[in-house]
Amino acid sequence: RLFEASISRGSDGGGLDVLDLARSMASLRAEKAALLGFANYAELVVDRQTAPDFGAVQAMLNRLAPAAVRNADAEAAALAQSAGHPLEAWDWAFYSAKVRREKYAVDEQALRPYFELDRVLQDGVFFAATSLYGITFHERRDLAGYHSDVRVWEVRDQDGSGLGLFLGDYYTRESKRGGAWMNSLVEQSDLLGTLPVVVNNLNISKPPAGEPTLLTLDELRTTFHEFGHALHGLFSKVTYPRFAGTAVPRDFVEYPSQVNEMWILWPEVLANYARHHVTGEPLPREVVARLDDARLWGEGFGTTEYLGAALLDLAWHTLDVAAVPDDALAFEEKALAAAGVAHALIPPRYRTGYFQHIFAGDGYAAGYYSYIWSEVLDAETVDWFTEQGGMTLANGQRFRRELLARGNSRDPLESFRALRGRDAKLEPLLKRRGLD
């Protein structure tokens, strides 16, 4: 009942049903696109992104979908075998965790004592940044944050000069919205003479006084990810603040933050921060090996549910005004089937009634594809770092100079080409997600 209630949010015909609003927004966006000379709203949006055109986006998603569904089917078979009965959609999370424990001996709760927040920050996130870029972090307890939980660090460049301020707001609280994000409080600008002030926001549960903050694997990943956004802001070197840091197209902005996730399991970084918070013992090597072995488990499900949402987003935003449907749920069902991602056990990550990314504002409308488009660039860059010797100052400085410092002061894909030496290919992403 909970599962069915969850996937029918905003579409149950009650007082909180928003399907008519979604239809109205799709219609108005189609009208706007037509007035501006575009065939549909998706083409209008992609025209302002790094993707060369809407056709390239559609081709990428269509290429990923069959392999993702195939892998999801294989995972479903393994789950059903473990369950001993036909699988239902609401069974997936439970049995997926069970198979992960049994097949790979990975118990995420047992890992948490090795991921204490302050050690992850000082000996993981900051250590990686120092190793790559030569920068250092100096906590400024004399500078008060906007809340007592907020910590402030002065970031200094390799030559000792000030680079900016980094604020860490890691705990959840009643007045704080959910999720995780980076804000730029002050943008860097040579014209105005301003240095950046950036903040990372997470929503980690705060432990009782005197007890350590132990992270889940997801919180660990998010800590590194959001700091990738922070570096994008801190390393900005532009004249005009409107081009600073993360002020890049939507389908490019997640790329630098995704690249920063590569250092989570990088051997010299992991060995530096992943230590038991009581004994100081390092995370056992066999556990690290099992984590690597388990890396692809669940990618079929994860990619399929993501593609379901991304293709549903495009389905709504490739309509002309006359084609906007009267029955939103029937349209959704037909669109998913046509895209080849209508899986009985895997609903799209977001359905129309609760797809806030595209209907609670314009931020990701016709742009939810951005996450995986950015991951194509990320996978290529991880390969580049690995080919060039991994975590070295020379590699870090090149990534900083050609990509992070540029912001939107030049075409972001030109920045990528300056780093990689060519256009991005899809193959590294296919290999990463087990879709090759």
Per-residue pLDDT of the chain (436 residues; tens, 9 = 90+): 999 999 999 998 888 999 999 999 999 999 999 999 999 999 999 999 999 999 999 999 999 999 999 999 999 999 999 999 999 999 999 999 999 888 888 888 999 999 999 999 999 999 999 999 999 999 999 999 999 999 999 999 999 999 999 999 999 999 999 999 999 999 999 999 999 999 999 999 999 999 999 999 999 999 999 999 999 999 999 999 999 999 999 999 999 999 999 999 999 999 999 999 999 999 999 999 998 888 889 999 999 999 999 999 999 999 999 999 999 999 999 999 999 999 999 999 999 999 999 999 888 999 999 999 999 999 999 999 999 999 999 999 999 999 999 999 999 999 999 999 999 999 999 999 999 8
- Containing structural domain, residue 197: 112-296
Distance CA 166, CA 59 (A): 39
Rg (CA), the chain: 22
Q: Look at residue 35 and tell me if it is in a domain.
A: no
Q: Look at residue 205 and tell me if it is in a domain.
A: yes
Q: Look at residue 164 and tell me if it is in a domain.
A: yes
* pLDDT for the residue numbered 431: 94
- Which residue is it, tokens 């804000």? 183
Q: Look at residue 290 and tell me if it is in a domain.
A: yes
Distance, CA of 436 to chain centre: 22
Report the phi/psi class of residue 377: left, alpha or beta, with left for phi > 0 and alpha for psi in -120 to 50: alpha
Q: Look at residue 435 and tell me if it is in a domain.
A: no
Q: Is 209 helix (H, G, I), strand (E, B) or coil?
A: coil
Element (DSSP H or E) covering residue 385: helix 370-387
Q: Look at residue 389 and tell me if it is in a domain.
A: no
Distance CA 297, CA 273 (A): 25
Between strands 162-171 and 151-156, the pairing is antiparallel
Distance, CA of 112 to chain centre: 21
* pLDDT for the residue numbered 104: 87
Confirm if 163 and 195 have CB atoms less than 8 A apart.
yes
Helices (H), ranges, 317-369: 328-339, 356-359
Question: 304 has which bridge partners?
Answer: none
Confirm if 255 and 378 have CB atoms less than 8 A apart.
yes
Question: 183 has which bridge partners?
Answer: 199
| Nearest C-alpha neighbor of 7 from the set 351, 314, 288 | 351
Four-CA torsion 83, 87, 92, 94, nearest 10 degrees = -30
Number of structural domains (the chain) is 1
Q: Look at residue 385 and tell me if it is in a domain.
A: no
Residues involved in catalysis? 226
The CATH number for 183's domain is 1.10.1370.40
Q: Look at residue 38 and tell me if it is in a domain.
A: no
Confirm if 202 and 169 have CB atoms less than 8 A apart.
yes
Distance CA 118, CA 108 (A): 19
